[in-house]
């Protein structure tokens, strides 16, 4: 019994010691609650901060939403459209060049065909003072398919001047000429029908009683005539150049002879003067 009391006493002392030491369980529990509350608040604030960081990171990492496409700014088909337009332009240019070539070829073929069908007559003597329009007027009835070109050789300029000086006619006159018919058959028939016959026309006309001198040139084309005229002009120019060169040479020789004669006369006069002295 004494032992239990002693123990109770001892227990009482211990409790007293604890009270003496200032231990207050309620205060301790209050402080613990306050600390726990602070830890909870810190934890909640930390969790909120972490969640905010996560949300920020999520916002940074969140993929950008696709903006609604506008057809005005859609350039995906631009390259293909440009290529198609360029191809169309190239095709148009090629077709246009083909059309031009075909047109030019057709024109050349038509001209060659027309040249093959044409015929040329030669008039060895053109009636005096007859103009190309008058000649065409007289030949037109014999060319139902038409006349093309006419070339008449004018008379020499010196002959024209001499005639005018003598009081003759001042009109131009032609020596010979060529006329191109669109049909070689008509040209041949006209030459056969008119050659050696009078020109005719209105009675009492200036050329009524004059006679035709016409010949059909077989296989002769207008290109041959132009080539012939070109060659004749070149020959005429060469002859003129040669004549000018000869004239200049003769004039130079004449001047040299005159100067030599003057020098000889001067020497003779000086010799005479010395002898007289």
For the chain, give every domain's residue range.
Answer: 114-220, 221-257
Segment 178-184 shows an average pLDDT of 93
Residues 143, 151 contacting (CB under 8 angstroms): no
Residues 6+ apart with CB under 8 A from 198: 208, 209, 210, 211, 212
Residues 138, 212 contacting (CB under 8 angstroms): no
Q: Would you state the pLDDT for residue 58?
A: 44
CA-CA distances (angstroms) from residue 189 to 133, 164, 222? 21, 39, 18
Q: In the beta sheet, which residues pair with residue 211?
A: 198
Q: What distance in Å separates the CA atoms of residue 27 and residue 24, rounded to the nearest whole number?
A: 5
* pTM check: above 0.85: no
Question: 208: number of CA atoms within 13 Å, CB side?
Answer: 6
Sign of CA dihedral 177, 183, 184, 188: negative
Most confident of 22-36, 40-54, 100-114, 151-165: 151-165
Over residues 39-83, the pLDDT tens digits come to 555 555 555 444 444 444 444 445 545 445 555 545 455 556 666
Q: What distance in Å separates the CA atoms of residue 225 and residue 151, rounded to the nearest whole number?
A: 9
Q: What counts of helices (H) and strands (E) characterise the chain?
A: 7, 4
Q: What percentage of the chain reaches a pLDDT higher than 70?
A: 68
Q: How far apart are the first and last CA of the chain?
A: 209
Q: What percentage of the chain reaches a pLDDT higher than 90?
A: 31
Q: Which two tokens stand for residue 186?
A: 């008509």
Most confident of 67-81, 101-115, 133-147, 223-237: 133-147
Q: Considering only 25-29, 224-228, 254-258, which range has the smallest mean pLDDT? A: 25-29
Residues 173, 129 contacting (CB under 8 angstroms): yes
Q: What is the CATH number of domain 114-220?
A: 3.30.70.330
More confidently predicted of 8 and 223: 223
Q: In the beta sheet, which residues pair with residue 154?
A: 174
Segment 229-248 shows an average pLDDT of 90
- Tokens 């000018």 appear where? 244
> How many other CB atoms sit within 10 Å of the CB of residue 209?
11
- Where residue 35 falls among pLDDT bands split at 50, 70, 90? low
Over residues 84-105, the pLDDT tens digits come to 777 777 777 777 766 666 777 8
Q: What are phi and psi of 146, to 5 degrees?
A: 100, 160
CA-CA distances (angstroms) from residue 181 to 24, 116, 184, 193, 267? 148, 11, 6, 15, 75
Most confident of 17-21, 100-104, 111-115, 219-223: 219-223
Using the predicted structure, report yes or no on whether residue 260 has a pLDDT greater than 60.
Answer: yes
CA-CA distances (angstroms) from residue 98 to 95, 103, 106, 112? 5, 8, 12, 20
Q: Would you state the pLDDT for residue 159?
A: 87
Q: What are phi and psi of 121, to 5 degrees?
A: -115, 150
Q: Which two tokens stand for residue 219?
A: 């296989």
């Amino acid at each position: 019994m004494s032992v239990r009391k002693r123990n109770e006493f001892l227990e009482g002392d211990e409790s007293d010691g604890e009270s003496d030491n200032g231990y207050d369980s309620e205060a301790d529990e209050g402080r613990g609650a306050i600390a726990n509350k602070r830890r909870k608040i810190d934890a909640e604030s930390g969790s909120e901060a972490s969640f905010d960081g996560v949300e920020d990171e999520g916002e940074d990492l969140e993929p950008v939403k696709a903006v609604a496409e506008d057809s005005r700014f859609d350039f995906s088909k631009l390259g293909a459209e440009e290529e198609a337009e360029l191809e169309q332009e190239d095709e148009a240019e090629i077709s246009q060049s083909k059309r031009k070539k075909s047109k030019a070829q057709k024109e050349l073929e038509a001209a060659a065909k027309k040249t093959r069908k044409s015929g040329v007559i030669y008039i060895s003597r053109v009636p005096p003072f007859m103009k190309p329009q008058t000649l065409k007027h007289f030949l037109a009835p014999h060319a139902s398919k038409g006349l093309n070109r006419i070339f008449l050789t004018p008379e020499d300029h010196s002959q024209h001047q001499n005639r005018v000086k003598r009081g003759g006619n001042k009109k131009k006159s032609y020596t010979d000429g060529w006329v191109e018919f669109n049909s070689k058959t008509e040209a041949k028939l006209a030459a056969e029908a008119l050659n050696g016959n009078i020109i005719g026309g209105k009675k009492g006309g200036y050329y009524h009683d004059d006679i035709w001198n016409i010949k059909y040139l077989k296989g002769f084309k207008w290109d041959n005539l132009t080539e012939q005229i070109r060659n004749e002009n070149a020959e005429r120019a060469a002859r003129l150049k040669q004549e000018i060169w000869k004239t200049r040479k003769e004039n130079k020789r004449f001047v040299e002879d005159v100067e030599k004669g003057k020098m000889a006369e001067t020497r003779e006069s000086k010799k005479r003067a010395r002898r007289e002295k």
